[in-house]
Amino acid sequence: MKTREVLILQGDGIGPEVCHEAKKVLEHINDTKDLGITISESAVGGCAFEEFGSPLPEKTLKLAQRSDAILLGAVGGPSWDNLDYDLRPERALLGLRSELDLFANLRPAILSKYLSDSSSLKPEKVLDLDMLIVRELTGGIYFGEPRGRSDTNESAFNTMVYSKNEIERIGRVAFEAAQKRNKKLCSVDKANVLEVSVLWREVISDLANEYPDVHLSHMLVDNAAMQLVREPKQFDVIVTGNLFGDILSDIAAMLTGSIGMLPSASLNSKNQGLYEPVHGSAPDIAGKGLANPIAAILSVAMMLKYSFSLNEASSDIEGAIQEVLSAGYITHDLEGNNNKKLSTSEMGNKIIEKLI
């Protein structure tokens, strides 16, 4: 059996807590199903800066490059807000994405039927919500050059750049995802004011000719943001650029009741992936046992599916989570019976119970 190498990067804030529970689940299913997974760990983010003077130490990057998949908790926090741009914890994320060419970010927004009361929208608006946002992750304004400040420090600038090839490859990921779902794709841009978005729309439209079974529509990003909170179930798969995807996926996250419920996958062309919960480091609740580990655990399920093609093991984890929720067990970020609110570690243990 081929050894599957997984690197865990706990990061900052609640990252270590949610990663601990996700690791427990991964170790359990690895042992019971003999999946051949080996696990290593390394430092990243603010804690790595404190120890090594860099948010992405060379040792961590080398481990990441040779791993088949990476599980990351969260990075950042107010302790490092005043660092120079290149030393901030968030630069570790951008560095990993760039160095590993993790260009395709998959962010599902699925509402469990047991959590409809936790959504910020009326239950009938979100019942059976199941959508996927495909975000381009290594281009756009976060990586565009030039960027910086003027010599007088009176202005700052960033550059949004996309090439035809970058748009085509993320477009193919989105079209293929739509083919496996409901054959419906919405491309989101700002083509009424941005030249980059005009090119984006042209390339995606041309690509649609190769996928005649998929219905393609286009929507401006401001309208898409409004439609997500007006009629979210009109969407199935959304494809968009780096900046717009960052914003829209967080909006979609709250439709599901809590940002603590949503995983994500960032993949390169070899299906090497970085898997992480959508939520941030939440330093205000770190160490209190209040963090929801489900997004991190679901990130493990995505890892098993997308990087290792272990669909049965992935489904087992998803099913165990649904069993726990159906029994009324929740974490402190969710709405429900206070008598069944679990701590971070209790939720992890309860999910493992359902896996046995």
Judge if 250 and 292 occupy the same domain: no
Summarize pLDDT for 73-131 with one digit per residue, the tens.
999 999 999 999 889 999 999 899 989 999 999 999 998 888 877 777 888 888 889 99
CATH number of the domain at 145, please.
3.40.718.10
Task: List the domain range (segments joined by +) for residue 278.
Answer: 1-103+268-356
| Angle (nearest 5°) at CA 252 between 251 and 256 | 120
| Tokens (6 digits) for 297 | 């655990």
Decide which of 223, 258, 293 is a domain's last residue: 258
Judge if 123 and 252 occupy the same domain: yes
Query: What is the dihedral sign for C-alpha 171, 97, 259, 6?
Result: positive
Q: Is the pLDDT of residue 339 over 70?
A: no
Active centre residues (catalytic): 142, 190, 222, 246, 250
Judge if 240 and 315 occupy the same domain: no
The 8 Å CB, 24+ separation contacts for 200-204 are 200/162, 200/167, 200/241, 203/164, 203/167, 203/168, 203/171, 204/167, 204/171, 204/239
Backbone angles phi, psi at 172, to 5 degrees: -65, -40
Q: Is the pLDDT of residue 1 over 70?
A: no
Decide which of 229, 258, 287 is a domain's last residue: 258
| Tokens (6 digits) for 223 | 């309208």
Judge if 253 and 116 occupy the same domain: yes
Summarize pLDDT for 19-38 with one digit per residue, the tens.
999 999 999 999 999 999 99
Judge if 129 and 243 occupy the same domain: yes
Judge if 23 and 76 occupy the same domain: yes
Q: Which residues pair with 108 in a beta bridge?
A: 132
Summarize pLDDT for 216-265 with one digit per residue, the tens.
999 999 999 999 999 999 999 999 999 999 999 888 888 887 788 889 99
Nearest residue to 263 (alpha-carbon basis) of 304, 231, 227: 304
Sheet-wide strand order for 104-110: 37-42, 4-11, 69-74, 273-277, 263-267, 104-110, 130-136, 237-240, 184-189, 215-220
Confidence of residue 338 (pLDDT cuts 50, 70, 90): low
Q: Is residue 258 within 8 Å of 334, Cβ to Cβ? A: yes
Judge if 253 and 273 occupy the same domain: no
DSSP conformational letter for 90: H
Cα-trace Rg, the chain: 20
Is 99 within a domain? yes
Cα–Cα distance for residue pair 195/323, rounded to 1 Å: 48
Cis ω for the linkage preceding 146 (within 30 of 0):
yes
Judge if 58 and 162 occupy the same domain: no
pTM for this one?
0.89
What's residue 42's pLDDT?
Answer: 98
Three-class DSSP category at 72: strand
What's residue 312's pLDDT?
Answer: 96
- Provide the b/e sequence for 85-110 (b: ≥16 CB within 10 Å): eeebbbbbbbbbbeebebbbbbbbbb
Decide which of 199, 228, 258 is a domain's last residue: 258
Judge if 231 and 138 occupy the same domain: yes
Is 211 within a domain? yes
Judge if 142 and 245 occupy the same domain: yes
Q: How many domains does the chain have?
A: 2
Judge if 154 and 224 occupy the same domain: yes
